[in-house]
């Protein structure tokens, strides 16, 4: 199913009022950074304990 | 350095790591609200909601669409956990744990029943029949259930200081969502179903934590959590979704339509945040105990408000700032606890 115009408008409306630049992409970058940090800590944890 | 000092140092490191995992859980849980909120407006879920609402009403539409979104969430969580376990080299351990059903995996499958359909469905029922703020407040009560059950069942010790910290974080959560609850209590319909949902959320997650604490005595948290989500996927995709389809809801029609790039992308990010948040939650339990792990995990309410402000631009009201301060105070009370109090997490 292709996204309708109404669905895309509603989705884009979420990020319009963000105080951060390019919030529609930045939220994914933040999630990836935190996830990679958690995975790196988990690997460190495995080697330490 | 003598043996006693080395033991103490090792113990302090374990406690520090335990709090770090619980904090990771809270941050990732807070981040989950971004894809978890945005996915609702995307198709096929938006059109599915409209179709069901036209025939069965808004409350029922919310619960049924939530079931499908949660089922997809469980699916993407499994994918994220495969990456996690692959990166940690845990596939061999996973095979061993699955084979040991009676002593090991049964706990995680049991946890999936309480954490999956009972807690998550309860949370959506609370949201659909009363409101989102009520659902959030009801869920905040789960560490009370978890810590009491862990204490009565296998004698997990919870100090007065830790209990005070949990209490402050819950009070902070109440303050954050309290205003919304008062409005919703005046407006909701079919309220008793919403209250039942709230009770299911608090007891479901609390019981899940206590059961997981028991299973983690003999299993790895990373592997145990993956089995828990394997159980949840079976419950959603083999039992609940087909049962709802038999009842006449268009489950499979919209499930097949969900394979759309943007919807899948948002679902994958929901899976990463939810999966990694859950695995770090489980990792904290053997290190600091179920009560403390769940208490710090409750900071998700505060992080959700922060991320929603940063990315959606919803400016927090003064009650949220007061609630946030209470949450921070509660965490400080717990973080600053003397670690010798936690040398043994269980009673003698």
In a domain, B290, yes or no: yes
In a domain, B7, yes or no: no
Tell me, what's the pLDDT at B264?
A: 95
Q: Is the pLDDT of residue B34 over 70?
A: yes
Tell me, what's the pLDDT at B7?
A: 80
Note the pLDDT tens digit of each residue in B127-177. 777 766 677 777 787 888 888 888 888 787 777 887 888 888 888 877 776
Asked if A30 lies within 8 A of B31 by C-beta distance, the reply is yes
Write the residue in B41, B88, B307 that is nearest to A7 by C-beta: B41
Residue in B1, B158, B128, B142 with CA at minimum distance from that of residue B65: B128
Tell me, what's the pLDDT at B304?
A: 84
Tell me, what's the pLDDT at A35?
A: 97
Q: Is the pLDDT of residue B288 over 90?
A: no
Asked if A15 lies within 8 A of B311 by C-beta distance, the reply is yes
CB pairs under 8 A between A and B: 100
Write the residue in B87, B276, B311 that is nearest to A43 by C-beta: B87
Tell me, what's the pLDDT at B185?
A: 65
What does pLDDT average to over chain A? 91
In a domain, B6, yes or no: no
A29 CA: distance to closest CA in chain B (Å) = 10
In a domain, B146, yes or no: yes
Q: Nearest residue on chain A to B30, judged by CA atoms? A: A31
Asked if A39 lies within 8 A of B24 by C-beta distance, the reply is no
pLDDT band at B65 (very low <50, low <70, confident <90, very high): very high
Determine the structural domain holding residue B258 and report its residue range: 21-342
B38 CA: distance to closest CA in chain A (Å) = 6
Tell me, what's the pLDDT at B250?
A: 94
Write the residue in B41, B47, B283 that is nearest to A10 by C-beta: B41
Which residues, 6 or more positions from B10, have their beta carbon under 8 angstroms from its beta carbon? Answer: none
Query: Does B183 touch chain A if contact means CB atoms closer than 8 Å?
Result: no
Tell me, what's the pLDDT at B187?
A: 63
Tell me, what's the pLDDT at B324?
A: 77
Tell me, what's the pLDDT at B142?
A: 81
Note the pLDDT tens digit of each residue in B97-121. 888 777 777 888 899 999 888 988 8
Tell me, what's the pLDDT at B50?
A: 92
Q: Percentage of residues in chain B with pLDDT exceeding 90?
A: 33
Q: List chain B residues with CB under 8 Å of A6.
A: 46
Residues on chain A bordering chain B, Cβ-to-Cβ distance under 8 angstroms: 1-4, 6-7, 10-11, 14-20, 23, 26-28, 30-32, 34-35, 38-39, 41-43, 45-46, 48-49
In a domain, B82, yes or no: yes
pLDDT band at B1 (very low <50, low <70, confident <90, very high): low
Copy the structure tokens of residue B2. 């003598």
Peptide bond into B316 cis (omega under 30): no
Largest CA distance in chain A: 52
Question: Which residue is it, tokens 């939810």?
Answer: B274
Q: Is the pLDDT of residue B261 over 70?
A: yes
What does pLDDT average to over chain B? 85
Write the residue in A3, A4, A31 that is nearest to B272 by C-beta: A31
Which residues, 6 or more positions from B217, have their beta carbon under 8 angstroms from its beta carbon? Answer: B286
In terms of phi and psi (left: phi > 0; alpha: psi -120 to 50; beta: otherwise), the region of A2 is: beta
Q: How many domains does chain B have?
A: 1
Determine the Cα–Cα distance for residues B156 and B150; give it in Å rounded to an integer: 5
In a domain, B279, yes or no: yes
Write the residue in B14, B257, B273 that is nearest to A31 by C-beta: B273
């Amino acid at each position: 199913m292709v996204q309708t115009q109404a669905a895309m408008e509603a989705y884009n409306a979420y990020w319009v009022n963000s105080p951060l630049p390019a919030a529609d992409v930045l939220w994914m970058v933040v999630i990836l950074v935190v996830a990679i940090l958690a995975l790196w800590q988990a690997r460190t944890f495995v080697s330490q304990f | 350095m003598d043996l006693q000092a080395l033991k103490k140092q090792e113990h302090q490191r374990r406690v520090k790591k335990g709090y770090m995992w619980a904090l990771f859980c809270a941050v990732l849980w807070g981040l989950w609200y971004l894809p978890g909120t945005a996915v609702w407006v995307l198709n096929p879920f938006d059109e599915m909601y409209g179709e069901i609402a036209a025939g069965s009403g808004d409350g029922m539409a919310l619960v049924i669409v939530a079931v499908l979104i949660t089922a997809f969430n469980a699916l993407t969580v499994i994918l994220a956990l495969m990456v996690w376990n692959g990166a940690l080299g845990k596939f061999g351990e996973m095979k061993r744990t699955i084979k040991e059903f009676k002593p090991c995996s049964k706990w995680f499958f049991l946890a999936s029943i309480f954490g999956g359909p009972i807690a998550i469905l309860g949370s959506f029922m609370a949201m659909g029949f009363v409101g989102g703020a009520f659902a959030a407040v009801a869920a905040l009560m789960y560490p009370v259930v978890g810590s009491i059950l862990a204490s009565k069942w296998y004698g997990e010790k919870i100090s007065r200081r830790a209990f005070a910290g949990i209490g402050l974080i819950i009070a902070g959560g109440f303050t954050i969502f309290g205003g919304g609850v008062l409005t919703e209590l005046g407006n909701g319909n079919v309220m008793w179903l919403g209250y039942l949902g709230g009770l299911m959320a608090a007891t479901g997650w609390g019981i899940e934590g206590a059961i997981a604490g028991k299973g983690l005595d003999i299993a790895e948290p990373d592997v145990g959590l993956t089995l828990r989500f394997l159980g949840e996927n079976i419950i959603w995709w083999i039992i609940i979704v087909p049962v709802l389809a038999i009842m006449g809801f268009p489950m499979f029609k919209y499930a097949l339509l969900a394979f759309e790039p943007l919807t899948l992308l948002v679902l994958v990010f929901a899976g990463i945040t939810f999966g990694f948040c859950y695995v770090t939650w489980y990792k904290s339990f053997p290190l600091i105990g179920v009560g403390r792990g769940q208490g710090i995990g409750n900071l998700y309410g505060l992080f959700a408000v922060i991320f929603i402000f940063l990315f959606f631009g919803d400016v927090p009201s003064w009650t949220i700032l007061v609630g946030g301060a209470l949450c921070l105070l509660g965490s400080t009370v717990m973080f600053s606890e003397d670690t010798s109090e936690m040398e043994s997490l269980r009673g003698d």
